[in-house]
Amino acid sequence: MTLAQKHIEGLNFLLHGAQVLDLVLDPAKRLAVVTIAPTTTPRAGPIPTRASISLLPVSSVVVVLKDLEGHAPVPGMDRVRIDELGSLVSQFTQPLAGWDFIDNQRNFTPGGQLVCEWFDPAMPASEHTLSFFYGVRSAEGASALLLFLFSFDNAFASHPNGQAIPVESFAASGTGWKAIGSGATEPVTILPDAVPPRQVDGELLGLIFVDAAQDVIVSYAVGKANWDGRRLRWSTSDGGTYDIPGGLTHQIRPRIPSMNRDGTPLEDFSYFALVGVTPDVSRDPGELVRLHLERSRSV
Please, what is the Cα angle at 207 between 202 and 211, to 5 degrees? 170
Q: Per this entry, what is the length of the chain?
A: 299
Task: Please count the other Cβ atoms lying within 10 Å of the Cβ belonging to residue 250.
Answer: 19
SS (H, E, C) the chain: CCCCHHHHHHHHHHHCCCEEEEEEEEHHHCEEEEEEECCECCCCCCCCCCEEEEEEEEEEEEEEEECCCCCCCCCCCCCCCHHHHHHHHCCCCCCCCCCCCECCCCCCCCCCEEEEEEECCCCCCCCEEEEEEEEEECCCCCEEEEEEEEEEEEEEEECCCCCEECHHHHCCCCCCCEEECCCCCCEEEECCCCCCHHHHCCCEEEEEEEECCCCEEEEEEEEEEEECCCCEEEECCCCCEEECCHHHHCCCEECCCCCEECCEECCCCCEEEEEEECCCCCCCHHHHHHHHCEECCCC
Give the whole-number percent of the chain exceeding pLDDT 70: 85
Q: State pLDDT tens for residues 53-99.
A: 999 999 999 999 988 777 888 888 899 999 999 999 998 888 887 77
Domain ranges of the chain: 5-189, 197-295
- What number is the average pLDDT over the span 131-140? 84
- Is residue 215 predicted with pLDDT exceeding 90? no
Q: State pLDDT tens for residues 170-179.
A: 755 433 333 3
Mean pLDDT of the chain: 82
> Distances in Å between the alpha carbon of 18 and those of 21, 156, 251, 253?
9, 16, 10, 13
Task: Please count the other Cβ atoms lying within 10 Å of the Cβ belonging to residue 55.
Answer: 24
CB distance 200 to 272 below 8 Å? no
- Is residue 109 predicted with pLDDT exceeding 90? no
Whole-number pLDDT of residue 189? 46
- Is residue 188 predicted with pLDDT exceeding 50? no
- What number is the average pLDDT over the span 90-117? 79
Nearest to 285 by CA among 221, 203, 212: 221
pTM above 0.85, yes or no: no
> Distances in Å between the alpha carbon of 220 and those of 39, 68, 202, 277?
18, 43, 19, 12
- What number is the average pLDDT over the span 8-15? 89
